[in-house]
Amino acid sequence: MVDHFNLISDPWIPCVSADGKSVELSLRELFAQATELRGITGDIPQQVMPILRIALAVLYEAYADRRGTCEEMSDLWMEVWEGDGFDMARIDAYLSRYEDRFDLLDASKPFFQTPDLQYTAKDLDPLDVLIADVPKAERALFTMRSGDGIDAVSFAEAARWLAFIQAYDTAGIKSPVVGNTQVTNNKVYAPKGAVGTGWLGAIGGIFVEGDNLFQTLVLNWVLYDPSSGDDDDVLLGRPGDEAPWRKDEAPTPDMVIQGRFHGVVDALTLQSRRVRLIADEERTRIIGCVVCYGNIVHAYDNNGDEQMTAWYLSPNQAKKLGRSAGSEPLMPRTYDPSRNLWRGLAPILQASEERHRELRPGVIAWLGEMQHYAGWHSDDHLFGCVTLHAQGMAYGTQSSVFDASIDDSLRIASVMFRDDYDGVKVLLDVIDRTDKAIRALADFVRNLHTAAGQCTASQAARYDVIESAYAQMDAMFRDRIARFDKSQDAERYGKQWRDDVHRALLTMAQRYLDQSPAQAFGAHMPDGRNGKGGIMTSGRALLELRGALNATLGIIATPETTSENNKTEGDDNDQ
């Protein structure tokens, strides 16, 4: 029989070591060995961000006594970043102070749970309520498990799924628990006008990865709101902002609409669910759970506390809140699981013209701020090349089921986080032009169908052409983005990149042309044009495509034009 499973001292966090080996560590070991670890892993990728955020909350709290001015926070951040690892005396002291609060099996204050939580009409739920990849038709997510379900899991695995469910649980109808006051017809419904899923399910989660876990934790450790720069907006040690394990009272069973976060630590550790893990009689495994709604926040205007998502101004939400134009609330951006991360870089990298309305993720704005603060010149790189890592969940009917998952990463030069680097505009311009050019390719394929007498090409067929083109561009864009830094002439690099895209699309077009049926070389009148625009032939389709690509991407540079441009630039430099 096991009486305790403590997340500070017992191993539960899967990690990859510097030599590529898989290890399982306790929270204390995670901090002590952070410089020797590549990163955190999990049973599914979406466990990584919730566990990382728990570790970040510990880091914020361990240094809370260092709260000061924005300048002092910048000094503190640089001090930690330039160290050889964490101050383990400080980390150990904090973890020891709250060690009893990290016990998964504690009777009075179990970690991330509500003690004595019980349903009103049943004993417990099976583990498929807790675990996303149990093969249950409406919840299974890329499962590697076999069979109809799972009877028990280890305490370590249960801890990981506990972090996951607090972050990503589905919305929908829940079974009432004893003490819940918001019950209708023996059901508990998702809160109206607020986030019904776990908080991370409502945002487009993104974090920055360094060369090791130490760097990753520090890179995401935002100490003040960079869009403000006001000492009142220091995030570290904010009064009233505390992790759930610091609270003297255990949470009540009832749902609480708290609206806003109390600070960055609250955002990192929000208890969106009331949960109790249930062990077997021998207390050696977890066999079930009780789950209901917990602390609920609104999605809007939490940008001051939530640092790991991009935002957008929402006129629709402004109408619901009765706000006037110019005071639109900020809503978190979420991901389209069908799109690669690089296709959606604009809201992540594009700085707002109004500093106080920063729409980029806080972690991105913060790292740009730190490069400015350090006095780094334009030719220097404070962090070099880092990895952007996007994670999240997409939901189906009324957010009551998992529909898809998001896990994508991208190497990128940290200089792209600066708001004064011209390369950002060039990078985003290439992505935007590529989108227009790929749609021109889809028009070309439609015109080929028309020339063949197939005038009813479906939207699905157009979508397939677009997605196929993006898939073929993926490796090129990842490579180009990773190599785009201050050593490159931004305009020239962008031009070469557009030319590569141009050539690739012409190659794709030629393949579509080669695969066309013989009659495609005939001529047909497009449906719906009533004779306007003339007949369509494959030759005309190709001519229109070339014109569209030239207009969107520019004419492909030839050796002669490149040589002439270099000569002109050389003449200018001599003057």
What is the greatest pairwise CA distance in the chain?
86
The yes-or-no verdict on residue 378 having pLDDT over 50 is no
User: Count of CB atoms within 10 A of residue 436's CB?
Assistant: 13
Mean pLDDT of 150-173: 97
For residue 250, give the DSSP letter: P
| Nearest partner of 62 among 33, 91, 83, judged by Cα | 91
Mean pLDDT of 21-50: 98
Say what the pLDDT of residue 468 is.
98
The yes-or-no verdict on residue 381 having pLDDT over 60 is no
d(CA 349, CA 342): 11
Q: What b/e sequence results for 19-29 when a residue is b if at least 16 CB atoms lie within 10 Å of its CB, and e otherwise?
A: eeeebebbbbb
Among the listed ranges 103-107, 126-130, 225-229, 492-496, which one has the minimum average pLDDT value? 225-229
Q: Note the pLDDT tens digit of each residue in 182-209.
A: 999 999 999 999 999 999 999 999 999 9
Whole-model pTM?
0.93
- Name the 3-class secondary structure at 307: coil
Main-chain phi, psi angles of 207, to 5 degrees: -140, 165
Mean pLDDT of 279-296: 96
Strands 402-413 and 385-395: antiparallel
Say what the pLDDT of residue 418 is.
93
Cα-based distances in Å from 81 to 34, 388, 531: 13, 18, 68
Confidence tier at 532 by pLDDT (50, 70, 90): low
Say what the pLDDT of residue 520 is.
52
Say what the pLDDT of residue 339 is.
96
The yes-or-no verdict on residue 379 having pLDDT over 50 is no
Confidence tier at 372 by pLDDT (50, 70, 90): confident
* Percent residues over pLDDT 90 in the chain: 79
| Nearest partner of 291 among 263, 271, 266, 317, judged by Cα | 271
The yes-or-no verdict on residue 525 having pLDDT over 80 is no
Helix and strand counts by DSSP (H, E) for the chain = 15, 14
User: Count of CB atoms within 10 A of residue 559's CB?
Assistant: 7
Supply 502's token pair.
């141009």
The yes-or-no verdict on residue 237 having pLDDT over 50 is yes
The yes-or-no verdict on residue 137 having pLDDT over 60 is no
* Percent residues over pLDDT 70 in the chain: 89
Cβ burial of 496 (10 Å; 0-12, 13-18, 19+) is middle
Supply 494's token pair.
């962008």
Supply 331's token pair.
């809503």
The yes-or-no verdict on residue 9 having pLDDT over 80 is yes
Say what the pLDDT of residue 519 is.
54
d(CA 282, CA 575): 85
Mean pLDDT of 437-452: 93
Confidence tier at 568 by pLDDT (50, 70, 90): very low
Supply 267's token pair.
């955002």
Confidence tier at 559 by pLDDT (50, 70, 90): low
d(CA 526, CA 232): 63
Q: How far apart are the first and last CA of the chain?
A: 84
The yes-or-no verdict on residue 88 having pLDDT over 90 is yes
Among the listed ranges 89-103, 257-271, 444-458, 463-477, which one has the minimum average pLDDT value? 444-458
Mean pLDDT of 417-437: 97
d(CA 228, CA 307): 13
Cβ burial of 72 (10 Å; 0-12, 13-18, 19+) is middle
Q: Which residues pair with 295 in a beta bridge?
A: 256
Say what the pLDDT of residue 518 is.
47
d(CA 490, CA 378): 13
Contacts of 334 (CB under 8 A, 6+ apart): 202, 203, 204, 392, 394
Domains (range + CATH), the chain: 13-417 (no CATH), 422-574 (1.10.132.100)
Among the listed ranges 68-82, 170-184, 352-366, which one has the minimum average pLDDT value? 352-366
Query: In sequence order, what E strands does 188-341 have?
Result: 205-209, 256-259, 273-279, 286-293, 295-297, 311-313, 330-332
Contacts of 182 (CB under 8 A, 6+ apart): 188, 189, 254, 255, 293
Say what the pLDDT of residue 458 is.
74
Mean pLDDT of all residues belonging to the chain: 91
d(CA 39, CA 209): 8
Say what the pLDDT of residue 211 is.
96
The yes-or-no verdict on residue 181 having pLDDT over 80 is yes
Q: Note the pLDDT tens digit of each residue in 458-468.
A: 788 899 999 99
Q: Note the pLDDT tens digit of each residue in 319-344.
A: 999 998 888 999 999 999 999 999 99
Question: How many C-alpha atoms does 53 have within 13 Å on its Cβ side?
Answer: 30
Say what the pLDDT of residue 377 is.
44
